[in-house]
Amino acid sequence: VQATDKTLLNIILRLSVDRMFKYLRKWFVTRFFGHTRQRARLVSKDGRCNIEFGNVEAQWRFIFFVDIWTTVLDLKWRYKMTFFISVFLGSWFLFGLLWYAVAYIHKDLPEFHPSVNHTPCVENINGLTSAFLFSLETQVTIGYGFRCVTEKCGPAIFLLIFQSILGVIINSFMCGAILAKISRPKKRAKTITFSKNAVISKRGGKLCLLIRVANLRKSLLIGSHIYGKLLKTTVTPEGETIILDQTNINFVVDAGNENLFFISPLTIYHIIDHNSPFFHMAAENLSQQDFELVVFLDGTVESTSATCQVRTSYVPEEVLWGYRFAPIVSKTKEGKYRVDFHNFSKTVEVETPHCAMCLYNEKDDRARMKRGYDNPNFILSEVNETDDTKM
């Protein structure tokens, strides 16, 4: 009995050690080598483009300053606020220098010891600091009343008019840029989410690639249109290698691919037929393929009438063959429709042909069995029957 117990103990110990060794090996490979196996993406899961421009000539960079409005809108908030503060402080200080120069030329400063009957261009400017304060009060139209321009100085009146007009232009530009930045539909696109994985399974008797998309807001996207691009490296018959060659991928729902009624999560699908680039792929070699599927959703925001675009991408490891999405919409006892986002990216394994070609070959075989075919090489020859039996 003791020998049997020792044998069982050794077996259990050996199995535990093997299991722990497999776990540590998997953890080691994932921890130290997992990042090297990640494929390069052109579009990240949240829609950002992974691309950089090199060796851009200086004259091309100058174009960004010609289109200053778009450049300011595309700036990040920290750079925009730095630019905002710098423009205002710079204009105040520049006009402060001009007001100081006017006072210096007109000899209004205390170091010139003006007479009692002397009429200055600007009252109560005693130095550069007071000139800066007067510039600030003029441009932002504070007007404390302590410093003011007199009618005896023409250059000061002209400078006052010029600074007032330029101040209005700067205020309009900067306030408009901040308002346009806030109201851009980029943040609206954050409330449109795609499923983590794409799946391939049968739908309506056809092999389809399916993706789930949801609108987290109750406000609709008007005129929604969804489509895809398959990016892969191809070699032309002439031997030219094209990196990021694009192929159109048509996505539809049961009602089409335009003017989607986007009130609840939708499952969009691409039919894998003879014209699909996925037709020659199979479950065994899908993970060995080198492609990136980019999905786009365009629509108009209902509340602001601004057009927005949402995009995401899928690499071969994120396409699951032989799965479908779990149900997500149910109806409560009160008669309301409930969306359970816990099952949004959840998949269920289903029976699926391991390649699209096999499915279509199977359909062709079934169709041939239902109908006959004439054989033109078949010749019917008549045979004369002889009766060898004699009565």
Whether residues 227 and 147 share a domain: the answer is no
Instruction: Please identify, among 129, 154, 183, the residue that sits at the C-terminal boundary of a domain.
Output: 183
Residue 33: inside a domain, yes or no? no
Task: Match 């139209």 to its residue by tokens.
Answer: 141
d(CA 96, CA 135): 5
Whether residues 282 and 298 share a domain: the answer is yes
Choice among 64-68, 82-86, 317-321, 332-336 with the minimum mean pLDDT: 64-68
Whether residues 173 and 231 share a domain: the answer is no
Residue 388: inside a domain, yes or no? no
Q: Which domain holds residue 112?
A: 60-183
Residue 208: inside a domain, yes or no? yes
Whether residues 350 and 290 share a domain: the answer is yes
Whether residues 87 and 101 share a domain: the answer is yes
Based on the structure, what is the number of domains in the chain?
2
Whether residues 211 and 134 share a domain: the answer is no
Predicted confidence (pLDDT) at residue 28 exceeds the cutoff of 70: no
Residue 378: inside a domain, yes or no? no
pLDDT-derived band at 53, boundaries 50, 70, 90: confident
What's the burial of 128, exposed, middle or buried (CB within 10 Å: 0-12/13-18/19+)?
middle
Residue 341: inside a domain, yes or no? yes
Choice among 60-64, 244-248, 251-255, 361-365 with the minimum mean pLDDT: 361-365
Q: What is the mean pLDDT of the chain?
A: 82
Whether residues 209 and 348 share a domain: the answer is yes
Whether residues 126 and 215 share a domain: the answer is no
Task: Match 């006892």 to its residue by tokens.
Answer: 333
Instruction: Report the 10 Å Cβ neighbour count for 219.
Output: 14
Whether residues 202 and 346 share a domain: the answer is yes
pLDDT at 369: 54
Predicted confidence (pLDDT) at residue 216 exceeds the cutoff of 90: no
pTM of the full predicted structure?
0.67
pLDDT at 90: 95
Whether residues 314 and 210 share a domain: the answer is yes
Under a CB-based contact definition with an 8 Å cutoff, are residues 361 and 390 in contact?
no
83-to-4, 148, 263 alpha-carbon distances in Å = 81, 30, 40
Residue 139: inside a domain, yes or no? yes
For residue 385, the SS3 value is coil
pLDDT-derived band at 26, boundaries 50, 70, 90: low
Whether residues 196 and 178 share a domain: the answer is no
Predicted confidence (pLDDT) at residue 227 exceeds the cutoff of 60: yes
d(CA 129, CA 52): 46
Q: Which residue has the higher pLDDT, 144 or 361?
A: 144
Phi and psi angles of residue 107, each rounded to the nearest 5 degrees, phi first: 60, 50
Residue 40: inside a domain, yes or no? no
Instruction: Please identify, among 131, 152, 183, the residue that sits at the C-terminal boundary of a domain.
Output: 183
Under a CB-based contact definition with an 8 Å cutoff, are residues 251 and 227 in contact?
yes
Whether residues 97 and 240 share a domain: the answer is no
Out of 19-28, 90-99, 342-351, give the one with best mean pLDDT: 90-99
Q: What is the pLDDT of residues 80-122, one digit of tens each?
A: 899 999 999 999 999 999 999 999 998 888 888 888 888 888 8
